[in-house]
Chain A
């Protein structure tokens, strides 16, 4: 089973995008868990890390959720394979950079468990759109199902014990990937970001920590994992996401009304560039695809075109472009290839009409 098979298979993020995903692209739950009595991956010796990986893979393979899934050992993959998995959010940069890391991924790619990352296990569940409770329920079931086979390190006072103090307690990181072009264009994003971080939520760029918010896409997640129940963490995040979605729609409608022709002109120019450019950098294409996504949400373009835009956002990333080409490309080569993929996909896009949303 190769990484190429994972990319070409129908999966949650590239094939399940429907009308309700205008602002929230995806919902993600992550649980950090560790095996009792074993050193954390960053401190464990090579044979211990190997043992941890074997025990975890064996336990995961017994779960129905991972039947006909994929087991990927980082040490057996090429640099490009690993980079593609990072761009897909199936594994983290940290896991991809180590030799002993492994990932077990369900067939539909909604569940991926990282082994030997910062903690022994990072159980991740992702759903397209905004489904906080549904996503949580799957993660909770996986946690319960793994419990009998793997004894998790747990203390009554501190909860689930993790390598880093930022994850101890519930080990839960709940997040939403949100597309906020309205708030960005209106210049409100900094204010929103500050309000969120003051209330204990982290706002990051689309590839996680330390990355830029390419394409006006942000990841919003809880910071606190100790002293709040899972339910309280989810309610807190859920309340804020609802609020951010409302504010985003207000900003979009205000822009469309106040700017009138300028609004449609701005989005149309992005379509023009994307359809005819011969070289496209990753950042430029992300920002312009963000405009097209906004055009679909606002009714300027038919809504059924949105999934094409979403797919291009994922497939226009550097490693994806190279994987499609079949090998490594330099930066100019990638820009050339990216532009041709985008041109081809947008060839029959119609002209933008006035907003109707």
Chain B
């Protein structure tokens, strides 16, 4: 359940340029608008000439997803194990394999950084990002409802959060 290999096999996306199965997935955010591009490996290498990022990504994928001979000091899991199983050995493995998995994460998740909840008392950065997200949508609602007092309060909160995040 939830293995990325199964997900991709059950729901193959087609390449945006041809009918081949897409293996390269790109998300671009321009002024808040998200554009997603799905490319097969061939098109990613030739067709994406206008976008150098596509080349970089294609390179990352054709290279081994995990550099060889990495071992988790905590549980003894290796990169070879990951290639066999598609799953990691323990939470600490993310420290060992995190960098090497960067390309794969972009491929399956389109993003590489968490935004969202955090356990109580942990990771104020994540929580601040989460709150910032919520405050921005709340401000939109307040403006639409012409609640300018509420909107001003939220604007100040957003500015404060942005400042704290920049300094963290």
Contacts and interface: CB of A to CB of B under 8 A. Distances in A.
A224 B106 CA distance: 10
A208 B1 contact: yes
Interface string B80-99: 01000111111110100010
A64 interface: no
Interface in B111-134: 111-120, 122-123, 125-126, 129-130, 133-134
B98 A158 contact: yes
A226 B111 contact: yes
B4 to A, nearest CB: 4
Given A226-B105, A229-B133, A40 B90 contact: yes
Interface string B49-81: 000000000000000000000000011010001
Interface residues of B, number: 51
B36 A34 contact: no
B24 interface: no
B36 A147 contact: no
A70 B38 CA distance: 45
B136 to A, nearest CB: 11
Contact of B123 (A154, A170, A225): A154
A158 B116 contact: no
Contacts of A197: 11, 13
Interface stretch (A161-169, A181-189, A314-322): A161-169
Contacts of A37: 74, 90-92
B163 interface: no
Contacts of A148: 120
B160 interface: no
B111 A224 contact: yes
A245 to B, nearest CB: 21
B118 to A, nearest CB: 6
A40 B3 CA distance: 14
21 contacts: A34-B91, A36-B91, A37-B74, A38-B91, A39-B89, A40-B90, A42-B85, A43-B77, A117-B1, A165-B101, A165-B104, A165-B108, A167-B2, A170-B116, A197-B13, A200-B110, A202-B10, A202-B11, A203-B11, A209-B1, A226-B105
Given A155-B123, A197-B13, A231-B134, 20 more contacts: A37-B90, A37-B91, A37-B92, A39-B77, A40-B91, A159-B116, A159-B118, A163-B87, A164-B2, A164-B87, A165-B104, A166-B4, A197-B11, A198-B13, A200-B36, A209-B10, A224-B109, A224-B111, A226-B112, A227-B109
Interface of A: 32, 34, 36-40, 42-43, 92-94, 117-118, 140, 143-144, 147-148, 151-161, 163-170, 172-173, 194, 197-200, 202-204, 208-210, 223-232
